[in-house]
Amino acid sequence: MTHYAALAGLGGFLPPRQVTNGELAATLDTSEEWITSRTGIRTRHWAGPGVATSDLAVEAGHRALKSANLPLAPGAVDAVILATTTPDHPCPATAPQVAARLGLGTVAAYDIAAVCSGFVYALATASAQIVAGQARRVLVIGAETYSTILDPADRTTSVIFGDGAGAVVLHAVPEADRPGVLLGVDLGSDGSRADLILVPAGGSRQRSTLGEPDPRDRYFTMQGTKVFAEAVTRMGESASLVLARIGWPRDSIDHLVGHQANIRILRALAGWLGLPEERAVVNVDRVGNTSAASIPLALCDAAANGTLTPGSRVLLTAFGGGLTWGAAALIWPDLNAA
Ligand code: ACO
């Protein structure tokens, strides 16, 4: 019997410490006005000392399981997929620890590294496992602690990124037209432009060379202006492909949930797709760019404030380092975000 993968639970978690533009402007060569006007970000959350990505992932995962009415017990899900660029360690993957801490037993658990597109990549993978009959329920988490890889002296990145985690539960349903079913997933990449978003050190490329690495090479780097244009085009094209595949006219989209990198990117993306700006879900002002956690945190926010209502047409699209991008669509189901 054919099954489809549908959204059954949603949860998010932000570390308590808020970092305002004013706080950053006190130590960096920037201003509150520059950050607000050029990015739309007013504040973001950063994890405290000793807090790692798995700590945020466990909180968000717990909330998504609760939202799906699933217990913290073996058998609740058949797989845990964690999208992250900031794993607890280079080895092993972080997902198995998250699964164990959630009490999910000896379930399949693995990480996905697609930077800001990671959550859409993880959704696609989870959906494929369900459609293939390899899993009935999958917990998909996007979690990041970018504050641990930001160069505190780099004004071009430090003002943009925030920490957080968002999670969903996908479950198998028999009907393709059931609300919540993931439709028309698209993924893409262009590795020839990997240098645009890069942490130079910490991997085998740096470790296989002789000599001590520059300590600053462990920091995240981004050529923001070049990334900006690419982000709009790639998300626009990927989203359009999904719409063409499932036969939804562009103007039938009720809510565009794009990767929350910059308010100007979200506006440009809506324009690219010919949608009114108001259809773009925005929470970048309060969380900054949370990379793989961005889409699920935006969904949580929009579900909690009543923007996403059952039956509305939702289009997800993300873009990130790699370069990578992706998109998916769904009809919003009746669920309580936790
Ligand atoms: N304060 C003051 N000035 C700054 C700051 C700052 N915090 N940051 C950069 N500037 C300066 C730059 O040094 C540059 O100065 P220069 O012209 O003298 O060299 C100038 O501002 C560039 O400003 P803008 O023209 O406003 O540049 P832009 O419009 O491209 O905005 C930004 C910069 C905010 C980084 C933008 O490019 C952006 O959001 N990029 C995309 C990020 C993105 O999409 N990320 C998604 C993927 S991320 C991932 O995968 C992890």
CA 155 to ligand 1 centroid distance, Å: 9
Active-site annotation holds for 289: yes
Task: For ligand 1, atom 9, name the residue with the nearest CA.
Answer: 156
Residue (of 144, 159, 167, 166) closest to 85 by Cα position: 144
Domain span(s) for CATH 3.40.47.10 in the chain: 4-173, 182-331
Residue 115's pLDDT is what?
98
CA 156 to ligand 1 centroid distance, Å: 6
Residue 336's pLDDT is what?
84
Residue 191's pLDDT is what?
98
Q: What is the 3-state secondary structure (H, E, C) of the chain?
A: CCCEEEEEEEEEECCCCEEEHHHHHCCCCCCHHHHHHHHCCCEEECCCCCCCHHHHHHHHHHHHHHHCCCCCCCCCCCEEEEECCCCCCCCCCCHHHHHHHCCCCCCEEEEECCHHHHHHHHHHHHHHHHHCCCCCEEEEEEEECHHHCCCCCCHHHHCCECCEEEEEEEEEECCCCCCCECEEEEEEECHHHHHHEECCCCCHHHHCCCCCCCHHHHCCEECHHHHHHHHHHHHHHHHHHHHHHHCCCHHHCCEEEECCCCHHHHHHHHHHCCCCHHHECCCHHHHCECHHHHHHHHHHHHHHCCCCCCCCEEEEEEEECCCEEEEEEEECCCCCCC
From the CB of residue 72, how many other CB atoms can be counted at a distance below 10 Å?
14
Residue 158's pLDDT is what?
97
Task: For ligand 1, atom 48, name the residue with the nearest CA.
Answer: 320
In the chain (338 residues long), the average pLDDT of successive 10-residue segments reads 94 98 96 97 98 98 98 97 98 98 98 98 98 98 98 96 98 96 97 97 85 87 95 98 97 98 97 97 98 98 96 98 98 91
Residue 6's pLDDT is what?
98
Q: Which of 3, 62, 259, 300 is catalytic?
A: 259
Ligand 1: atom nearest CA of 230 is 44
Ligand 1 mutation pick, 38, 145, 260, max ligand atoms within 8 A of CB? 38
Residue 144's pLDDT is what?
98
182-331: CATH superfamily: Thiolase/Chalcone synthase (3.40.47.10)
Residue 213's pLDDT is what?
79
Residue 63's pLDDT is what?
98
pTM value > 0.75: yes
Q: Which of 62, 116, 255, 262 is catalytic?
A: 116
Residue range 4-173, CATH number? 3.40.47.10
CB under 6 Å to ligand 1: residues?
30, 34-35, 38-39, 115-116, 155-156, 159, 197, 222, 224-225, 227-228, 231, 261-262, 265, 289, 291, 319-321
CA 160 to ligand 1 centroid distance, Å: 9
Residue 179's pLDDT is what?
97
Query: What letter represents residue 146's amino acid?
Result: Y
Q: Which of 21, 262, 283, 289 is catalytic?
A: 289
